[in-house]
Amino acid sequence: MVMDNKKTPAIMFQGTGSGVGKSVVAAALCRCLKNMGYRVAPFKAQNMALNSYVTADGREMGRAQVFQAEACGLPPDCRMNPVLLKPTADAKSQVILMGRPVADLRARDYYRRARHHFHIVKEAYDSLSAEFDIMVIEGAGSPAEINLQETDIVNMRMAHYANASVFIVGDIDRGGVFAALKGTYDLIPDRYKFLVKGHVINRFRGDISLLLPAFEMFRKFNPVPIAGVLPWFHDIPTDEEDGVFLDKIETEGGPDKINVAVVGLKRISNFTDFLPLSMERDLAIKIARSPGQIETADMVIIPGTKATTMDLKFLEDTGMDRAINQAAHAGKMVIGICGGYQMLGSEIDDPHGSDGPPGRYRGLGLLPLITCMESQKTLVLTEREIHWPTVLGNSPLTVSGYEIHMGATSPLEHWGTGCNPLDTDTDDSPDRRNPIGFFSRDGMIMGTYLHGIFENHEFRTKLLNFLRSQKGLPPVTQRMNYRREKEKNLDRLGDWFARSMNLKNFLKMAGILS
């Protein structure tokens, strides 16, 4: 029975620090509750992430809340993440409120606006929570950051506003989990401690019988019990935001595998683009952080970035720009996504400093394109019919995804002389829309603004089988359907939480069940 309260019942996961697994734990509970028949929605008041997504109404939100929305069986809604901070190259963050970019602010200036931002957060939460039976809320970082507690809008102040049952998540794999849990609880302001119902130990591996005696010992000096222990898993792919997620998409090599190098840009964004590739068994994916890792690849992917021009300089400083050019001239496949697409061109013109210091920048020169940075951000879900004869043959293919970018990219020359547009219905007439991307005359270099392009089953199948043919390997006729596989993995994630946590007991601790 759902508890009776004037506010929608809410369960909140806060953490002993960043990267302890709050996002995944929240997604897992979302799936459990959905499968129990509850109408459940996720919420995170303030998110700092370069991994973002576009909603159906053209607004931007953090990718973790998109993943949690999928776990709830819901379309993404910017009310689930009303404040998004995207760090920039000059110690600032782009501030996005209710899915719209409003300013680039330094930390001190951002915190001065905490009262205004919390007003936006409360309005979004009230509007969203009124439509659901239960809310699953995620905190950010740790509530124990005592220097930030006065301007907090995402941890205990949010928990108090929502009257949420709070569970503090600690990562035992880091070591010192009991100290971290106690220290976090002790540093929470006393007026909020009544909201904390339990602690969750995450990423445990080993013999749990050796851990259990510590629970009673812990209760002797901490009034809040251990609610449960979640074991480490490696076999359930999840969307995550932290840069440490990059290590999870790397896969092992082998003689019959396609070697893919994803260039490890310093300010990489939207790296979940490559999760579908990491789930293909005939691929070996490495995050390339040196020229040598690019030289051995069959395909090089330059990902998105929050600061295209600054990451161009990073490639130059590391020598990876030369390695990418050498791979292209050796006939290797090179693909650029979003900022990586802009880098493939001859020039980037940023007169107003929208992406970094104002100026004109030389690109990698692999496609005869120029990108003009603009102050207006493109945020749109996109579906296009594309042709890329080298990979797709003579049959056009419809692909879908989303665009998040500053600037527009166009050819330096008349189309068809140096490169071709991906879109089947695009030519150089002034009334035509901008192409979603271009490919080189030999078809081995392609750039696109379309995030999520590798989620398209037929596109991914044809691309990977083309690469297999280049290595003399037979095609793979039956590939996993990423979108169907994602649904299965969400169910597995929910089962992982329910099995490990004793779900009924956990929901009683949270006040959801009587």
Residue with tokens 């690109």: 363
User: Edge to edge, what strands does the sheet with 46-48 contain?
Assistant: 46-48, 83-87, 93-97, 100-105
Let me know if 119 is a catalytic residue: no
Q: Spell out the per-residue pLDDT of the chain, length 514, in tens.
A: 344 457 899 999 999 999 999 999 999 999 999 999 999 999 999 999 888 999 999 999 999 999 999 999 999 999 999 999 998 766 789 999 999 999 889 989 999 999 999 999 999 999 999 999 999 999 999 999 999 999 999 999 999 999 999 999 999 999 999 999 999 999 999 999 999 999 999 999 989 999 999 999 999 999 999 999 999 988 888 876 655 556 667 878 778 899 999 999 988 888 889 989 999 999 999 999 999 999 999 999 999 998 899 999 999 999 999 999 999 999 999 999 999 999 999 999 998 877 778 889 999 999 999 999 987 889 999 999 999 999 999 999 999 999 999 889 988 865 456 789 999 875 554 444 578 999 999 999 999 999 999 999 999 999 999 999 999 999 998 899 998 999 999 999 999 999 999 999 999 999 999 8
Q: Is 164 exposed, middle or buried (0-12, 13-18, 19+ CB in 10 A)?
A: buried
Rounded to 5 degrees, what are φ and ψ at 157?
A: -65, -40
507 contacts 251 by C-beta, under 8 angstroms = no
- Which residues, listed in sequence order, are joined to residue 228 by a DSSP beta bridge? 200
What is the model's pLDDT at position 55?
96
User: Do 22 and 169 contact (CB within 8 A), yes or no?
Assistant: yes
CA distance 364 to 374: 20
> Which one of the listed residues 30, 32, 72, 338 is annotated catalytic?
338
Cα(494)–Cα(509) distance, integer angstroms: 18
Q: What domains, with CATH codes, occur in the chain?
A: 10-237+488-509 (3.40.50.300), 257-472 (3.40.50.880)
pLDDT for position 246: 62
Distance CA 304, CA 50 (A): 10
What pLDDT score does 431 carry? 41
pLDDT of residue 508: 97
The secondary structure of 411-464, three-state, reads ECCCCCCCEEECECCCCCCCCCCCCCEEEECCCCEEEECCECHHHCHHHHHHHH
The first and second tokens of residue 136, run together, are: 């699953």
pLDDT of residue 488: 95
Strands (E), 49-133: 52-54, 60-62, 83-87, 93-97, 100-105
What gap in Å lies between CA 168 and CA 11, rounded to an integer?
A: 11
Beta-bridge mates of residue 15: 169
φ, ψ for residue 478, nearest 5 deg? -115, 100
Four-CA torsion 317, 320, 326, 328, nearest 10 degrees: -120
What pLDDT is stored for residue 89 in this prediction? 60
The whole-number pLDDT of residue 253 equals 78
The reported pLDDT for the residue numbered 412 is: 83
Is 32 designated active site?
no
What is the pLDDT at residue 118? Answer: 97
> Which of 89, 61, 90 lies closest to 76 in space, CA to CA?
61
